[in-house]
Amino acid sequence: MEASQSTFDLENDSTRADPQQAGSQEKPDSTEPEEEPDVPSATGVGAYLISKGFYPDKELGRGKDGVVVGATNKRTGQKVAVKFVRQTTEGDMRREAKNYEIIKNKRNSLGEFAKHFPVVYSSSIEEVPFDGEPIDGQKMPTAVIVMEQLEELPKEVAAGLFPTGDLGRKNAQATRQRDERIFKNERLVGGMIGLAYDLLENANAWTPNFPVDAQIEVSEEIMSNFKELKIPIQEPPGWDKIFQSKQGLFLATLFMKLTYEKMVEIAPNRDEKSLVLDYEQNIKKTLMEIFYKAYSRSVVSGAVQGAATPYSTLRGIDQFYGQEEEIEKSFPESISIRKAMKALGMEGLKPFDVHSGNVMMRPKTKEIVIVDLGRFKA
């Protein structure tokens, strides 16, 4: 489906969308338009916005795929966000315009889940001046998406949905809150331990004798030590570069230490114990890798959905171990948004590359909104 052409103008008054489009979004304020400011001779996207009846505001965000600029409708005073994706590659530009057009057209069919996607007023390919060029200067084909303006997702909410990365480094309190939700749920911790042994079995020519009651015992000990924070971090060489937060490194080290020690302790005979000791480094490395994958995956998955794999933990541990109920119990804010992504996939647009940087919040209703849809797969 080709994105519609030349829809972005005041003649169509396209930003006057039905407030029901945003799910439970409240009706936009009927703010009287401000007195026209003294706008200097603009260039680039600013010149384009002015030519279409908008006052350019500040830049809201920028990435390798494009830039998002705030703008105010001269006629209504309504504030919008306008995303510009230049013709860096023909595929990216057209995909962006097409994806947002799909959201615009599929809003009603998404029903209750529509609230988790932005209200899109228009999405089209336009001729936009190059940076530094006036409105009558040299232009380039550009995807122009006009949508509602949202606000940044609170750190504590983002930490619950997206456990690691920059957020984990920048906000220790939010990360700690997330960790407490994981480590007070024995089934989630137990699931990570069970996954570790499944993968150990696949990675080696032998299977360690590690019964369920031993796994439960280790799980309880990990949870207890996490709560008390009694075990100091002993960083294995090189692992500090892999883990994205000190807390993650601490937990992975704790997981590896207690699990390996329990394997040695319960070995039924001398030969089994010797085998565990001989494979010490291999086992420890595998355990560290498994815990890192389990700990670092997002609760909300942005990948195109397919068969669950052992490495999908936390974001897929619900499928792999039948623990969806436990995930939802620990991260209730993830329930609706995960269902929304599934519903969107059923409509032919599969979520991809969803992370804390492209999820925002609707100001008045506090609804979580996936705002960057440019890499979704149609």
Give the separation between CA 243 and CA 90, rounded to whole angstroms: 37
> What's domain 19-150+362-370's architecture?
2-Layer Sandwich (3.30)
Beta strands in the chain (DSSP E): 54-63, 66-73, 79-86, 120-129, 139-148, 151-152, 359-361, 368-370
Average pLDDT, stretch 366-370? 92
Which among 161-175, 271-285, 361-375 has the top mean pLDDT? Answer: 361-375
Please report the pLDDT score of residue 286 as a whole number.
80
Locate the DSSP E strands across 93-184. Answer: 120-129, 139-148, 151-152
- Which of 131-145, 199-213, 252-266 is most confident? 131-145
Q: Could you tell me the residue ranges of all domains in the chain?
A: 19-150+362-370, 156-337
Residues 6+ apart with CB under 8 A from 295: 163, 164, 182, 192, 248, 251, 252, 314
pLDDT digits (tens, 9 = 90+) for 312-360: 334 445 555 567 777 778 877 777 887 888 888 888 888 877 777 788 9
What residues pair up with 85 in beta bridges, in sequence order?
Answer: 143
Three-class DSSP category at 361: strand
Average pLDDT value for the chain: 76
What span, in angstroms and rounded, lies between the C-alpha atoms of 87 and 121? 21
- 139-183 per-position pLDDT tens digit: 999 999 999 999 998 877 877 776 554 444 556 677 777 778 878
> By three-state DSSP, how is residue 38 classified?
coil
Dihedral over alpha carbons 196, 198, 204, 205 (to 10 degrees):
150
How many Å apart are CA 10 and CA 79, to the nearest integer?
13
User: Over pLDDT 70: what percentage of the chain?
Assistant: 69
- Flag whether pLDDT at 138 surpasses 90: yes
Q: Are 287 and 255 in contact (CB under 8 A)?
A: yes
Q: Which residues contact 333 (CB under 8 A, 6 or more apart)?
A: 157, 160, 161, 368
pLDDT of residue 308: 32
What pLDDT sits at residue 231? 59
Instruction: Supply the pLDDT for residue 25.
Output: 42
What pLDDT shows up at residue 196? Answer: 73
For the entire predicted model, the pTM comes to 0.69
pLDDT in tens, 283-312: 888 888 777 766 666 666 544 443 333 333
Q: Which two tokens stand for residue 304?
A: 């195109």
Mean per-residue pLDDT, 212-231: 80
3 state DSSP class of 67 = strand
Instruction: Report DSSP state, residue 108.
Output: H
Report the range of poorest mean pLDDT among 94-98, 134-138, 185-189, 277-281: 185-189
Query: Closest by alpha carbon to 196, among 293, 117, 274, 280?
Result: 293
pLDDT of the residue at 156:
75
Mean pLDDT of 89-117: 89
